[in-house]
Amino acid sequence: MRRPKPPPESVSGSADDVETEFYEALQRGDIDRLMALWSDDDEIACVHPGGPRLLGAPAIRASFEAIFANGVIDVVPEKVRRLEAHSTAVHSVLERIRVRLPEGERLAWVVATNVYLKAAQGWRLVAHHASAGTIAEAQDVAEMGSTLH
């Protein structure tokens, strides 16, 4: 079942624009803006590092509300790799997150995949899947080809 939702006012229409708005909403802790970027489809999905698969807007919203209860997310998308075909865009993103701990500031790395679909209301996020990373993820690894024996 689809929910009526107004389109985000400042998103000009590309998957890149929606992604920019997504990370800005995380940085501001703006739950309404963040949720306006998602598709209105019931099958949207989100996986936070180490967490379960969340399906549908209510579950996704509740998870981000819980995260924002601890403060905004100081996240910067880096090394975005894009694949776009027709009405689908898949972005592989290295997220750099600044974490403030009692012993000082630390950097954390998250490897995320964001999937966007283009529908009547424009590009919208349909899946965000994030996994804990390490500093090694800051370096891209490409398999040079292998032969199975």
Q: What is the CATH number of the domain that holds 70?
A: 3.10.450.50
Six-digit token string for 69 = 């209860």
What is the percent of the chain where pLDDT is above 70?
82
Number of separate domains in the chain: 1
For residue 89, is it within any domain?
yes
Neighbours of 61 (CB within 10 A): 17
- Quote the pLDDT of residue 4: 43
Task: Give how far the C-alpha of residue 99 lies from the chain's centroid of Cα atoms, to the nearest Å.
Answer: 18
Give the CB-side neighbour count of residue 15, counting CA atoms within 13 A: 23
What is each CA distance from 54 to 40, 44, 116, 143, in whole angstroms?
15, 8, 17, 31
Find tokens 């079942």 and name the residue.
Answer: 1
Domain coverage including residue 42:
15-137
pTM (two decimals) = 0.82
